[in-house]
Amino acid sequence: MLPWDTHLLGLQLSLACCCWALGCQEMKSSPDFSLPGDYLIAGLFALHTGYPGVRRKPEVTLCDRPNSFSGHGYHLFQAMRFAIEQINNSTSLLPNITLGYELYDVCSDSANVYAVLSILSPPGTRLIEIQRNLSSYSPKVVAVIGPDTTNRAGTAAAMLSPFLVPLISYSASSAMLSSKRWYPSFLRTIPSDKNQVKTIVLLLQRFGWVWISLVGSDGDYGHLGVQALEGQATRKGICIAFKGVVPFSARAGDERMQDLILDLARVRTTVVVVYANRQLARVFFESVVLAKLTNKVWVASEDWAISTHIAKVPGIQGIGTVLGVAARPRVVLGLKDFEEAYFRANKGVVRPCPQGSWCSSNQLCRKCWAFMQDKMPTLGTFSMSSAYNAYQAVYTVAHGLHHLLGCPSGACSRGLVYPWQLLQQIRNDTLTFDDSGDSLSGYDIITWDWSGPKWTFRVIGSSRWPPVRLDINKTKIQWHRKNNQVPKSVCNQDCSEGYRRMVTGVHHCCFMCVSCEAGTFLNKSDLYRCQPCGKEEWAPERSQTCFPRTVVFLTWHTPISWVLLATNTLLLLLLVGTAGLFGLHLDTPVVKSAGGRLCFLMLGSLAVGSCSLYCFFGEPTLPTCLLRLAPFALGFTVFLSCLTIRSFQLVFIFKFSAKVPTFYRAWVQNHGAGLFVVFSSIAQLLICLMWLAVWTPLPTREYQRFSQLVVLECTQANSQGFMLSFAYNGLLSLSAFVCSYLGKDLPENYNEAKCVTFSLLLNFVSWITFFTMASVYQGKYLPAINMLAVLSSLYGGFSGYFLPKCYVILCRPDLNSTEYFQASIQDYTRRWGST
């Protein structure tokens, strides 16, 4: 069976019981609660408070218990009567049409059900007729105003919705009632709790209150409101330290309230949101005063924010600061005069209440005029605002009828109006209701003010939608703290700059502070995680932001670059100058003994290595990375090959040529020296090609070595290819050293052992130093150290081999003669011959 079918069946049974209870007979009505008219509007008002105890069994609650009269409900009751009187006297709204009313005292759930069943059971209507065609069913009223609470409004809406009877509540604000699937005929002139909850959350965020308590009242209003608040507050980063409910049957200071207040005091939250109806909010604050719970900020829901029912609790002015969300104060002009006139006209009048009439029923007020005998209830701001909502609801129905009956054309037709027709017309009023039937009016943000002789409230801001936005003037708030400082409500004090929060318990608002490590920063959008900086950024410890890294490489304009450039350029000039000097003295004994034209190949190889050093400067690129070390390795190989074969030939000529003449002639005839240099150089060339192909030096950005720097360098600078090439040159250096050492006793002009040994040792020391430093230092000056090692090798080779010969040519020309060299050879021959 479908839900609506089940609901209709239940309504039919209820209507049957109602007809039986009323005797399905016509009864006279009290003139205070009913007024005949062309079209009737029902009003549901709580003129009395029902018995708040826990029900043990189904029973009817009497509404006229002693001391149960509700002045607030009385004002709403009179506001509806006043609105209908104005409309009936109007010549522009529903001209020649009179509105009547049926008013009910819904002091309890049973009274509420009774009233709705009475509305739905017009005399003479059979149940079978209702079941056949709901769209043609017309109850005794065209619309219903009220009731007040969410529970009663939900019950009334559920019962009226199958018949699409418009129900316009002046006080029920629960977001649950906005569902058009379950309550298609429900509308209201009070804002929905959906927007109230959003407003309260924005209020908490505005003051930075993230550690709060929630107290709700028993029933749909409190439960649904607390549930919605908890969900939205949690999503916004607000922690709920405590959540409690004031039971229906609670009394101030009883055991349950004492436990509730004790638990609330234990969590030590500064801010408490009280989402409760007026009756239970009073019980709660009476208990708060008894427990002397002070120095709090109490955030009030709309139902009690400006209610004098709460403000009159003895001693409540000492509980702290009260902020609240209140419906915007609206004034019904003339209502106060209307009530005073009604009071004067009825004061002292005792009206009979015949048996069997509505006014004698236990669900209505048997002596509804008696409450005016002593004094008229005071019409405060809260009651006036609620009265305006009831007043506006009546006018909403009147405007709907006005258009439905064709009154704008000049003449109203008195045809039959079905509830669904009026509902459709009212829903078209987009200036009053949104798509869910909720009011479009906003809220005022208020604070209680005890600075004057009596309690009042001050408007400090407003809330508007859509979307919900808050506007608050904080200077208007008088806080209960010294120096009027805004109270804080946090589980822990905020961490210092650069410290993240590490949750220590269930709630993320309770935390310990942990400093952010270097290379990370704390973003204000996420206080629980230190975010890493980007590759191009760095951050010190406890930083709140990242800084751009400094890009470093061996530039052309730094002092160390100038020194290296000057040193390398000087070497090139020396090489060129030496080549020129040797060219001018090519036929002299010194040049011939140094290798003759082979010297130019040696000088050229050193020059190639020197030119490759210029690729160390500037931002690395693929060409400069390829040309940094490979040309030097190949050039130095050529130099070492020439040096090795030169030393070898001198030793062979002077010591072994006479002993192995055949090998010597073959060596000379087959150009052994040239072949050795060629093959040795080709071997190094192949090693370098493999190096560049397999371990290709590429430009790269290095981020790991320095937190603040991006080092631009070449990859695989010390790769296996480079090490293999270096090992090959080391082998050649060792060969040259051995050959030079074997010639240490050659004629003085041919003895190069000391100088060559010095240059080779310098070469070894420089590269050992470089590799040692590279293993412990990977800084931005490593390319400069690498360049120094290369320069040391080049300078060592040049100074050890060519510099002494340049000295002889330039400074000792007497030693650069054939006679001198022949005398040295003869002296060597005599010495070796004598031995």
For residue 752, is it within any domain?
A: no
Q: Is 708 helix (H, G, I), strand (E, B) or coil?
A: coil
Sign of the torsion angle spanned by Cα atoms 423, 427, 433, 435: positive
Q: Where are the beta strands (DSSP E) in 120-248?
A: 143-145, 167-169, 186-188, 211-217, 239-246
Residue type, 279: Q
Residues 626 and 514 in one domain: no
User: Residue 9: is its pLDDT beyond 80?
Assistant: no
Q: In this predicted structure, what is the pLDDT of residue 2?
A: 37
For residue 750, is it within any domain?
A: no
pLDDT band at 328; cut points 50, 70, 90 = confident
Residues 233 and 98 in one domain: no
CATH number at residue 691: 1.20.1070.10
Residues 574 and 614 in one domain: yes
The pairs formed by 92-95 with CB atoms below 8 angstroms and a separation of 24 or more are 93/395, 93/398, 93/399, 93/402, 93/407, 94/398, 94/401, 94/402, 94/405, 94/407, 94/412, 95/407, 95/412
Q: Which of 609, 674, 610 is nearest to 635 (CA)?
A: 609
Residue type, 245: V
CATH number at residue 480: 3.40.50.2300
Residues 512 and 494: beta-carbon distance below 8 Å: no
Residues 413 and 373 in one domain: yes
Q: In this predicted structure, what is the pLDDT of residue 431?
A: 63
User: Residue 344: is its pLDDT beyond 90?
Assistant: no
Sign of the torsion angle spanned by Cα atoms 709, 715, 719, 724: negative
Q: Could you tell me what percent of the chain has a pLDDT over 70?
A: 80
What is the arithmetic mean of pLDDT over 331-354? Answer: 70
Out of 507, 527, 548, pick the residue that ends a domain: 548
Residues 635 and 602 in one domain: yes
For residue 627, is it within any domain?
A: yes
For residue 128, is it within any domain?
A: no
Residues 344 and 298 in one domain: no
Q: In this predicted structure, what is the pLDDT of residue 234?
A: 92
Find all residues with CB under 8 Å of 748, minimum gap 6, and list them. 824
Residues 40 and 164 in one domain: yes
pLDDT per residue as tens digits for the range 758-812: 777 887 888 888 878 777 776 677 788 888 888 888 888 888 778 888 888 888 8
**CA 500, CA 502: separation in Å to the nearest integer?**
6
Q: In this predicted structure, what is the pLDDT of residue 54?
A: 47
For residue 825, is it within any domain?
A: no
Residues 237 and 359 in one domain: no
Q: Give how many domains the chain has, as a whole number.
A: 4
Residues 285 and 361 in one domain: no
pLDDT per residue as tens digits for the range 627-679: 888 888 898 888 888 888 877 776 666 565 555 666 667 666 667 777 888 89
Out of 548, 573, 589, pick the residue that ends a domain: 548
For residue 16, is it within any domain?
A: no
The mean-pLDDT minimum among 248-262, 369-383, 581-595 falls in 369-383
Q: In this predicted structure, what is the pLDDT of residue 276?
A: 93
pLDDT per residue as tens digits for the range 561-608: 899 889 999 999 999 998 898 888 888 887 877 778 888 888 898 899
Residues 707 and 723 in one domain: yes
For residue 733, is it within any domain?
A: yes
pLDDT band at 43; cut points 50, 70, 90 = very high
Say how many residues make up the chain. Answer: 835
Residues 179 and 296 in one domain: no
Q: Classify 89 in phi/psi space as left (phi over 0), alpha (psi -120 to 50) or beta.
A: alpha
619-638 b/e (C-beta count within 10 Å ≥ 16 → b): ebeeebbbbbbbbbbbbbbb
Q: Could you tell me what percent of the chain has a pLDDT over 90?
A: 27
For residue 358, is it within any domain?
A: yes
Q: Which pair of structure tokens corresponds to residue 491?
A: 């589980």
Residues 383 and 480 in one domain: no
User: Residue 366: is its pLDDT beyond 50?
Assistant: no
pLDDT per residue as tens digits for the range 420-467: 999 999 888 766 777 777 777 788 999 999 887 788 899 999 998 888
Q: In this predicted structure, what is the pLDDT of residue 371?
A: 46
What is the arithmetic mean of pLDDT over 531-549? Answer: 90
The whole domain housing 533 covers 499-548
